[in-house]
A and B are shown apart, each in its own frame.
Chain A
Amino acid sequence: MSFWEYVRNRQELLWFETYQHASMVLQCLVLATAIGLIIAIITYRSKTASAVATGIASVLFTIPSFALFGLLIPVFGLGVTPSVIALVLYSLLPIVRNAVVGMSNVDPSLVDAARGMGMSRLRVLFKIELPLAWPVILTGIRVSAQLVMGVAAIAAYVSGPGLGDQIFSGLARLGGANAVNSALAGTVGIIILALIFDGFFVLIGRFTTSRGIRG
């Protein structure tokens, strides 16, 4: 069976798994962005605190994905939960790091100017610091998206949802019928998704970054 025949035969399953993959990645990113931003907002004013936060995120980042999934099984079992947790943990580092860097790179004289005209701390954060750091933060999210897209494939190892299933079952049956087609379908699907996500982020960047600071 050719690759195209394989894809046509399993159209429905592939669509479903692609959808699951995209949906999982998207939800994990939203979650990671929320958590990452909160961590960054709490820590960016203090050099020590932000270094600790980035440090922890880096350590998590260096754990090989298989090992991390493996470590999560005894605690959370199989399925969606361990997959989401692992993906969120992985995507934290680029988001936290970029958010901290972005916000601490905001010109202190601008913060002075903002405070000097009577803006509260919170208003300065939401009106000045976050908008100015936004392009850098968004880049962090974008990097995370690419990263998580690949790691999400490994979620199949803990019976997580998504295109990883195609790859794993293909690899498991290596030499057997359609083994290569299956692995290939998963891989190509992930690559296409990654490209779509990236384009999506470019668009978000266009629409959410002020023209005054767009590169």
Chain B
Amino acid sequence: MADDITTGTTQAAAAADDSGLHNATHGVEIQLRNLTKKYPGQSRAAVSDVTMTIPAGEIVALVGPSGCGKTTTMKLINRLIEPTSGEILIGGEDARKQPADQLRRHVGYVIQQGGLFPHMTIAENVALVPKMLKWAKPRITERVDEMLELVGLDPAQFRDRYPRQLSGGQQQRVGVARALAADPPVLLMDEPFGAVDPITRGRLQDELLHLQEELHKTIVFVTHDFDEAVKLGDRIAVLAEGSKIVQYAEPAEILARPTNDFVRGFIGTGGAMKLLHVTRIADVELGAGVTAQTGDDASTVHTRLSEADEPWAVVLDANSRPVQWATVEDLAGKQGPVSDYGTPITTTISGRADLQAGLEALLGSDTDFVPVTRRRRYIGLVSLNTVQGAIQQLREQAKQHASVAAGEDGA
């Protein structure tokens, strides 16, 4: 099976069969079934009867207090540690039915501080797994450069450097590049950004999300930092001692409806603010507002405003971009194109931004509304009312979700 990958190009191999671990490049599902690990000489299991499904192509963040068994859970998945009992299915295949070394070559592993080998150059580090998979030399060289570019490092500049000649953040990037080099469907990341400063960390997180948009790997991401989990996770598993799953749900649901005080403790203060962070503006109900085209006659627009009982209209140009505000007063008794009477719109916000950014835009603007755009076209207005409505809506949704899901993961 592994040979398919060594002969064809990655794409060809992926096209041949997308299901098995060895052939897939997009993520595959991981299932943990009643997984238990007891270290010799310890009374309590480090991982105790954990059952969990990690959906294909998603980022699942594991958060929990120090020593609760996060690292152990990760090492069970790539078999650095053998379970005491239970089983692991990766892409539907029993992880223990194949040689551990073979399995690991198809499961990327990133640890804190990158885990780069200091005696090897950056290129040698990145090339390790492709080499073990016996890729042809030219292909490896090409792949190394491709991976370095992918993580935002100029290959010409970094290829031949040694890890110690890189900053912590750069090393971390190489760590990710190395883990992705052989295009594994699964990526395990154990506090990968724990040791870098908050600004670099934020940037690395953004990059990871960006990569994931293209790659659709199945990523298990361990972190201490709940905000990081919220930002990166498609789902978050909040773990207690023994890797016991206290809550496993989408970030919005955990934020809106934490199951108990333990989870609440993790969310910390400002849960509502975090909720704003996980919601895109385009996904909430926006105010429609009255719109007008630049060429529309001022008097017609005035009439429409009076009829709708709105104080002003958003004036859009030929490409539907919001360009001006035109108030009822401005337009009263005026003739000619409406654009002669409007005032320029200074602040707009992208629908891809989160609600928190929307809130900030509102606070920074001197209007009570901020026009929202998608691909620069007007899609609606955001106001304090919109934000408030959105939070209420999220709470409701979470409630419904919870009552539906109550049966299946009451763990």
Interface set of A (CB-CB < 8 Å, partner B): 109-110, 112-120, 123, 128, 131-132, 210-213
Contact = CB atoms under 8 A, between A and B. Distances in A.
B111 A128 contact: no
Contacts of B104: 115-118
A212 B163 contact: yes
Contact of A117 (B113, B121, B128): B128
Nearest to A134: B119
Nearest to A115: B80
Please name the 8 residue pairs, one residue from A and one from B, whose CB atoms are nearest each other, closest first. Answer: A212-B162, A113-B115, A210-B119, A118-B105, A118-B104, A116-B109, A118-B101, A212-B119
Interface of B: 75, 78, 80, 100-105, 107-109, 111-113, 115, 117-121, 128-129, 132, 162-164, 178-179, 188
Given A110-B117, A131-B119, A213-B118, A116 B162 contact: no
Contacts of A113: 109, 111, 115, 117
B103 A112 contact: no
Contacts of A114: 117
B129 A118 contact: yes
B117 to A, nearest CB: 6
A119 B115 contact: no
B132 A118 contact: yes
10 contacts: A109-B111, A115-B104, A117-B104, A117-B178, A117-B179, A118-B100, A118-B101, A120-B101, A128-B117, A132-B117
B109 A119 contact: no
Contact of A116 (B78, B112, B120, B132): B78
Contacts of A123: 132
Contacts of A110: 115, 117
A210 B115 CA distance: 17
A110 B117 CA distance: 7
A210 B108 CA distance: 26
Contacts of A212: 118-121, 162-164
A197 to B, nearest CB: 25
A116 B119 CA distance: 18
A112 B103 CA distance: 15
A112 B115 contact: yes
Contacts of B100: 118
A213 B101 contact: no
B82 to A, nearest CB: 13
A109 B163 CA distance: 15
Given A113-B109, A116-B78, A132 B118 contact: yes
A213 B119 contact: yes
A112 B120 CA distance: 16
A118 B105 CA distance: 5
A88 B120 CA distance: 33
A119 B100 CA distance: 10
Contact of B111 (A116, A118, A211, A213): A116
Given A118-B102, A118-B104, 9 more contacts: A116-B75, A116-B78, A116-B109, A117-B104, A117-B179, A119-B132, A210-B119, A210-B120, A212-B121
B80 A116 contact: yes
Interface centre among B102, B107, B119, B128 (most CB of A within 10 A): B119
A119 B101 contact: yes
A117 B118 contact: no
B80 to A, nearest CB: 6
Contacts of B128: 117, 119
Nearest to A120: B101
Interface centre among A119, A123, A212 (most CB of B within 10 A): A212
Contacts of B178: 117
B111 A112 contact: yes
Contacts of A213: 118-119, 162, 164
Nearest to A209: B119
Nearest to B129: A117
Nearest to B161: A212
